């Protein structure tokens, strides 16, 4: 595809827009309503990275001073702004409608709805500690656990290493898995006390997917009676 003048853009170029890209794209089905900023932000980051447009909200994709790509940058910037506006509740979108760049809009929302790292970690950790199955099915309860675990992992930036055989990495991964397994078992209803005890008596402790399979089997047996 060529820009508005004469420059041909490769598919990998940040200024490239696919023919299927259109201003009314919402990026995700869950709009920003305020309190869901953390999840909204993460979802939009994934979508923007997939479209190679994250640089427009971080500011790393700088507008050219002159030349034929200026118009294409402005087009992409406007497209990203439109995507973000269509992913925000109407009254919030109205309040940021006149932001001139996607970066300015992103930073305005971050300032307004973002929280300090410590506050977010505290809130997620408290949700994890207070989470229990209640009226949820086991799959729904486990899904809720996974959402909170993933959010927590993203907040604390758990160190990683490309060497999967590294003893420290393996020990850290196992520690986190055991911690999540205990959290999952603690929140189960008391009707699963027997299978929970069996899992805790297993040595070494099973992987969480194995424990989930055991609990799901117990749930199916109960519902089939």
**Each residue's pLDDT tens digit, 96-112:** 999 999 999 999 998 88
Q: What element of type H or E holds 38?
A: helix 37-50
The whole-model pTM stands at 0.62
At 198 the pLDDT is 94
d(CA 192, CA 167): 34
% residues pLDDT > 70 (the chain): 90
d(CA 90, CA 108): 16
Cα separations in angstroms, 55 against 17, 50, 63, 105, 153: 14, 12, 11, 13, 24
Looking at the predicted structure, is the pLDDT value of residue 60 above 60? yes
Q: What is the pLDDT of residues 165-218, one digit of tens each?
A: 778 778 888 888 999 999 999 999 999 999 999 999 998 889 999 999 999 999
At 7 the pLDDT is 61
């Amino acid at each position: 595809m060529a820009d508005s003048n004469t420059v041909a853009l490769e598919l990998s170029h940040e200024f490239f827009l696919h023919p299927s890209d259109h201003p009314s794209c919402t990026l995700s089905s869950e709009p920003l309503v305020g309190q869901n900023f953390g999840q909204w932000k993460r979802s939009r980051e994934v979508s923007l990275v997939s479209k190679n447009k994250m640089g427009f909200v971080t500011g790393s994709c700088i507008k050219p001073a002159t030349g034929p790509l200026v118009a294409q940058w402005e087009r992409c910037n406007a497209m990203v702004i439109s995507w973000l506006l269509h992913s925000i509740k109407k009254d919030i979108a109205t309040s940021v409608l006149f932001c001139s760049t996607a970066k300015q809009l992103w930073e305005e929302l971050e300032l307004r709805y973002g929280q300090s790292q410590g506050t977010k970690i505290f809130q997620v950790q408290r949700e994890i500690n207070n989470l229990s199955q209640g009226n949820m099915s086991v799959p729904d309860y486990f899904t809720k656990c996974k959402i909170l675990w993933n959010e927590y992992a993203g907040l604390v930036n758990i160190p990683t290493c490309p060497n999967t055989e590294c003893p420290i990495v393996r020990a850290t991964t196992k520690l986190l898995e055991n911690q999540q397994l205990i959290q999952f078992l603690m929140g189960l209803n008391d009707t699963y006390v027997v299978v929970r005890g069996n899992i805790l008596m297993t040595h070494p402790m099973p992987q969480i997917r194995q424990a989930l399979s055991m609990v799901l089997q117990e749930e199916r047996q109960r519902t089939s009676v």
